[in-house]
Amino acid sequence: MTTLAPSALAALRASCDACFGTPAVWPLIENAYREPQRFYHTLAHLDELFAHLAPFRGEALWPAIELAVWGHDVVYATTLPDYADNEAHSAEWLMRTAQIHCSGTWLRTHASHLELAGQWIRATRSHKLPPECARDPAQRRAALLFLDADLAILAAPLERLMDYDRGIAQEWAQDPDHPADIFRAGRLQALRHLREHTPLFHSDEFAPLDTLARANLDALIDRYSIHQ
């Protein structure tokens, strides 16, 4: 799923304008998530994330969660070694873009939200709780909701799961049905690393997804292990 209905796209745009307090940021978001190398990390991914997080819009730190969603994959290189810096560059992009385009009042209101969002974006590299959030219950909860939502695709129905996996392969310029051995080995390593996370989901709300997500990971691992 890489495209959105016009109504969903309009809703995303309206949400982005409201979040940042200006229409200037949306074109930058849209252009980034429409880059030609993207097949999974697209505007549809943002839409799915916001759907997973919709029940939590009343959270005290929702503005930080929302900022983290908008910015978490805005920089997405699929070449080495640039890939390793995607999260750090995305966090930097969010801060820089807000400084340039948002009003002084907005920046004063959301200074702490921006800082938290940057921490959580960087944490998507490992999907582990940032140590800065560990001692504050509200920050811990908000960070874990965001990180869990980003992994919720692993508990998708099989058809959607395979669509996700094919998209990842395409982002690395692979034929999803006949990936190169080097990609197969790298993907297998990444999937096994995820499978070792115990638990996969840390929040009470997303914890019920754990069993299905592990079964799905096993299916993907088997798929990439066939020719090993």
Q: What is the CATH number of the domain that holds 35?
A: 1.10.1300.10
Q: What is the CA radius of gyration of the chain?
A: 17
Average pLDDT, the chain: 95
| pLDDT reading at 228 higher than 70 | no
| pLDDT reading at 126 higher than 70 | yes
Position 33 in a domain: yes
Position 195 in a domain: yes
Position 32 in a domain: yes
Structure token pair of residue 94: 């969010």
Residue 144 — pLDDT band, cuts 50, 70, 90?
A: very high
Identify the pLDDT of residue 46.
Answer: 98
Position 103 in a domain: yes
Residue 113 — pLDDT band, cuts 50, 70, 90?
A: very high
Helix 210-225 × helix 158-171 angle, to 10°: 50
Identify the pLDDT of residue 80.
Answer: 86
In percent, the amount of the chain with pLDDT more than 70 equals 98
C-alpha distances (whole Å) from 195 to each of 17, 70, 132, 223 are 37, 26, 25, 14
Position 214 in a domain: yes
The total number of structural domains in the chain stands at 1
Position 1 in a domain: no
Domain range for 35 is 6-225
Question: pLDDT (tens digit, 9 = 90+) per residue, 148-197?
Answer: 999 999 999 999 999 999 999 999 999 999 999 999 999 999 999 999 99
